[in-house]
Structure 1
Amino acid sequence: MSNLHGLFQYPIPMKLYQKWIVSFALLLGFSYLMQWQGSALKNSFTPMGIVHLEFAQTAELFQKIVASWDVQTLRWNIAIDFLYIPIYTYFFQLTLSIFAHRHRSKLVQQMGILLKNAIFLAFFCDLAENTGMIISLMGFHASIIYILTFWLAGLKFAILGFSLIYILVSIPTLFFRTKQN
């Protein structure tokens, strides 16, 4: 661990680095768990698994997707997702904070901080989206639930996508940043 830590021009404080390693390990572990447990939700009709359900805009499509799955597997996947949400939120918050503070450009720093704060919105979107799916699974089929779930999922994925792009584009700053005078 210390060898990787030593690669950085400006080392991340050890305590923060250790938190990041733990958050990354949890993210990887739960990502694997979600994929493994949710693999039964992937079929020719829903190759992306539960993502298809998140974007089902009508009761008819929602019910058709659910009919192609084992409902107990779906319920477990949603339950695990409720544990996954704070894990990916913490990882993204921590990672975006680290990268935002390492950029020289104030604009790029502000974008990182904006995304770091937007992760909270993704957190609440995901909670609401899961709640919408649970409400629909319980038999309440109001079209507003499907529309809200669709838009909340879209907003969540947009925030996570922009955050991931920011992180990937920022990776070289950890390795190649030179000391400011």
Structure 2
Amino acid sequence: MKLNQKWIVSFALLLGFSYLMQWQGSVLKNSFTPLGIVHLEFAQTDDLFQKIVASWDIQTLRWNIAIDFLYIPIYTYFFQLTLSIFAHRHRSKLVQQIGLLLKNATLLAFFCDMAENTGMIISLAGMHSSIIYILTSWLAGLKFAIIGFNLIYILMSIPALFFRTKQH
């Protein structure tokens, strides 16, 4: 499969699973948790974790976490492929290196998200440990920071695709 075909497939999967996650997790959004599962990811205390879970249907939450385990490799592949494409389009070596650094950091986001989901599952199973809540929250923060930097790099690099392609 050609690179542009791989990118189209990865983008289509990203959009499809993003929609699925939003649709399936929509019932996790309420006046107490307007951001849905994101509130649970950042719950740093047992009291807050239990209050959030009590406001939801537990089966819906479990399904949302299960679907997220499928979503993680999809967004990881998309970001790695996209960052690689954009990094190689820049003329500046520094901007290329930043793109490749972010591409590699996407693997860290992958492991953070897997561990974060595992932390939520452990907490849902009844192991209420403040260290698990804190680690889950910090891992979520690191994951979102990496994804945020990836998105900024990609958005700022879009003009490079059209106007400043690297000469080979």
Matched, 1:94 2:81: yes
**Larger of the two Rg values belongs to structure:** 1
Work out which of the residue numbers 110, 125, 131 in structure 2 matches 1:123.
Answer: 110
Query: Partner residue of 1:50?
Result: 37
Query: Partner residue of 2:5?
Result: 18
Give CA-to-partner distance per residue, 1:106-127, whole Å, 9 cap, x none: 0000000000000000000000
Structure 2 distance, partners of 1:43, 1:137, is 20
Structure 1 distance, partners of 2:91, 2:35, is 39
TM-score by length of 1: 0.91
Partner of 1:95, secondary structure, is: helix
1:29/1:179 CA distance change after superposition, 3 Å: closer
Amino acid at match of 1:49: G
Q: 1:179 Cα deviation (Å)?
A: 6.0
TM-score by length of 2: 0.98
Q: 1:77 Cα deviation (Å)?
A: 0.1
Give CA-to-partner distance per residue, 1:72-119, whole Å, 9 cap, x none: 000000000000000000000000000000000000000000000000
Amino acid at match of 2:122: I
Amino acid at match of 1:62: F
Structure 2 unaligned segments of length 5 or more: list them: none
Q: 1:68 Cα deviation (Å)?
A: 0.2
1:179/1:85 CA distance change after superposition, 3 Å: closer
Partner of 2:52, secondary structure, is: helix
Alignment size in residue pairs: 168
Q: Spell out the pairing of 1:1-181 with structure 2 (5 A cutoff).
A: 15-177=2-164, 180=167
Partner of 2:154, secondary structure, is: helix
Q: Give me the identity figure in percent.
A: 88
Partner of 1:101, secondary structure, is: helix
Cα RMSD for the two superposed structures: 1.1
Structure 1 unaligned segments of length 5 or more: list them: 1-13
Runs of 4+ in 1 over 6 A off after TM superposition: none
Q: 1:177 Cα deviation (Å)?
A: 2.0
Q: 1:180 Cα deviation (Å)?
A: 3.7
Amino acid at match of 2:13: L
Structure 2 distance, partners of 1:178, 1:20, is 18
Q: 1:175 Cα deviation (Å)?
A: 1.0
